[in-house]
Amino acid sequence: MASRADSIASNLSLANFSKATELRQRIWFTIGALIVFRFLSFIPLPGINPLGVAQLADQLQGGIIGMFSMFTGGSLERMSLIALGVMPYITASIVVQMASALHPTLAALKKEGAAGRQKLNQYTRYGTVFLCTIQGYFLAVGLESFASSAGIQAVVDPGYLFRIGAVISLVGGTMFLLWLGEQITARGIGNGVSLIIMAGIVAQFPSFASNLFEGGRTGSISPTIIIGFIIMVVVLILGISFFERAQRRLLIQYPKRATQRGMMQADRSHLPLKLNTAGVIPPIFASSLLLLPLTISQFAGNSVDTESGVGGIIVTLNQYLQHGQPIYMALYALGIIFFCFFYTAVVFNPEETADNLKKNGGFIPGIRPGKRTSDYLDYVLTRITVVGAIYLTVVCVVPEYMIAQTGIPLFLGGTSLLIVVNVTVDTISQIQSHLLAHQYDGLIKKAKLKGRKR
């Protein structure tokens, strides 16, 4: 049986892919949806002056706007209809997840199964609309005020009419992206929202690569630095692929049960605990919190006298929170470690897992069910989270340091690589699953045909 499964897995080749009609349709649908996403990123908001927005984007590089623009494929820098991307949805879903772990009512909904999850998804969408409205309004107001103070005409006709139109457009753009992501998940391949974020990051790779090699051609970037940067990216991709698939499997034993032949047989399974349970949330939260004061100081710095006391504080804050500065790097590393443990505690509940094992009659060999199992799960999870936090810190901080030392523009940082590698691995796994299912379907049809001939 095992050899047959191995032979089937080894036969997942291009020949099988060409026969999988449904899989090809799913892939083409996914590609088409991502093309629509990229098309929307170039449609500007009503009332926007594209040239003024481009000048303003050059002045705001390095703040939180630059980081979130990376996740939206440059849509925020161009102030397009989907300038906010799916980040409000990500934020709302994280808040709902945290609230469902802390609030009794939401925790009860989480345990109700499909109906409870549907209700939580509804709350997440309400939160997305709320966040989009708030962020869209402040983005429109900030665009007007900062552009006027900088002497740039980014808005053709500032006022409440522009703000209302911008908010409606931004909310509609984000909700359309959510609908597009759901269509990709249902009718395409992979997780739709994750693929949209990855597409936004990958879309900037051609311009980044051209600027990098153009710098090597003109001599502004040393060829040694370019080669070292490429090697670093390859090593990081291999390391991320290894650590993201790393698991600690706990053996779960079930009581002996009588089989059809009258023999007693004990069932066994494994409880997989991922090394990095928190995923990409820690670096996103840590960098957002650090870049928020920098962005506020950038907005305030244009209207405050730098020779005054407040102006001096703003200048000092900008200096210490720049990429590559020791204080920034230390705070970034501490933020990643903190959110690793915090978010892991939110998404994985040892007491709930121990109760589920006890209800199903499962237990960890050598550990008594109930409180002892919960304590043991917490102990194991804490130990592997330490390793996961160190891994995330190295992956995110080392590229930041090297980019700051070499002067290469911040694009292929640890966070973006984490997202791209995670989504790519997940999508490839789903493609392999579809190919394997298609292979089994073919074998079943052949077996039925042979049975009829007999």
- Over the stretch 85-97, which tens digit does the pLDDT of each residue have? 888 888 888 888 8
pLDDT of residue 10: 45
Q: pLDDT at residue 58 above 80? A: no
pLDDT of residue 83: 87
Higher pLDDT, 379 or 148: 379
The Cα 316–Cα 338 span in angstroms is 26
Angstrom distances, CA of residue 78 to CA of 43, 49, 58: 9, 10, 11
Low-confidence winner among 148-157, 192-201, 390-399 (lowest mean pLDDT): 148-157
The pLDDT mean for the chain works out to 78
pLDDT tens for 177-216 read 999 999 999 998 888 888 998 888 888 888 777 877 887 7
Q: What is the model's pLDDT at position 142?
A: 77
400-416: burial string, b at 16+ Cβ within 10 Å, e else:
bebbbeeebebbbbbbb
* HEC-encoded secondary structure of the chain: CHHHHHHHHHCCCHHHHHHCHHHHHHHHHHHHHHHHHHHHCCCECCCECHHHHHHHHHHCCCCHHHHHHHHCCCHHHHCECCCCCCHHHHHHHHHHHHHHHHCHHHHHHHCCCHHHHHHHHHHHHHHHHHHHHHHHHHHHHHHHHHHHHCCCCCECCCCHHHHHHHHHHHHHHHHHHHHHHHHHHHHCCCCHHHHHHHHHHHCCHHHHHHHHHHHHHHCCCCHHHHHHHHHHHHHHHHHHHHHHCCEEEEEEEEEEEECCCCCEEEEEEEEEEECCCCCCHHHHHHHHHHHHHHHHHHHHHCCCCCCCHHHHHHHHHHHHCCCCCHHHHHHHHHHHHHHHHHHHHHHCCHHHHHHHHHHCCCECCCCCCCHHHHHHHHHHHHHHHHHHHHHHHHHHHHHHHHHHHHCCCCCCCHHHHHHHHHHHHHHHHHHHHHHHHHHHHHHHHHHHHHHHHC
Instruction: Of 9-23, 173-187, 259-273, 335-349, give the lowest mean pLDDT range.
Output: 9-23
214-232 average pLDDT score: 80
Phi, psi of 269 (to 5 degrees): -150, 180
Question: What is the C-alpha to C-alpha distance for residues 317 and 6, in angstroms, rounded to an integer?
Answer: 59
Nearest to 143 by CA among 98, 85, 77: 77
Lowest mean pLDDT among 49-63, 243-257, 321-335: 49-63
Q: What is the mean pLDDT of residues 384-412?
A: 79
Q: What pLDDT is stored for residue 3 in this prediction?
A: 42
Neighbouring residues of 8: CB distance < 8 A, sequence distance ≥ 6:
436, 439, 440, 443
How sure is the predictor about 384, in pLDDT bands with cuts at 50, 70 and 90?
A: very high
On the question of pLDDT at 140 being above 70, the answer is yes
What is residue 337's predicted lDDT score, i.e. its pLDDT? 92
Residue 386: predicted pLDDT: 93
Least trusted range by pLDDT, from 172-176, 196-200, 261-265: 261-265
Task: Quote the pLDDT of residue 167.
Answer: 92
Give the model's pLDDT for residue 5: 42
More confident residue, 320 or 342: 342
Higher pLDDT, 327 or 306: 327
- pTM for the whole structure: 0.78
- pLDDT bracket for residue 4 (50, 70, 90): very low
Distances 442 to 27, 247, 428, 437, 446 between C-alpha atoms, Å = 20, 33, 21, 9, 6
Please check the confidence at residue 66 and state whether its pLDDT lies above 80: no
Q: Give the pair of three-digit tokens for residue 5.
A: 């499964």
**Which residue did the predictor score with more confidence, 40 or 62?**
40
Query: How many other C-beta atoms are found inside a 10 Å radius of the C-beta of residue 219?
Result: 8
For residue range 15-26, what is the model confidence (pLDDT) as tens digits? Answer: 566 677 788 888
Residue 63: pLDDT band by 50, 70, 90 thresholds?
Answer: low
- For residues 390 and 345, which has the higher predicted lDDT (pLDDT)? 390
pLDDT for residue 6 is more than 50 = no
pLDDT of amino acid 115: 82
Average pLDDT on 158-173 reads 90
Q: Is 399 exposed, middle or buried (0-12, 13-18, 19+ CB in 10 A)?
A: buried
Which of 1-10, 77-86, 201-210 is modeled with the greatest confidence? 77-86
Both structure tokens of 390: 């160190």
Residue 173's pLDDT is what? 92
pLDDT score of 184: 92
pLDDT, residue 315, reads: 62
Phi, psi (rounded to 5 degrees) for 49: -100, 105
* Predicted pLDDT at 257: 62
Does residue 440 surpass a pLDDT of 80? no
Across 7-16, 171-180, 411-420, which has the greatest mean pLDDT? Answer: 171-180
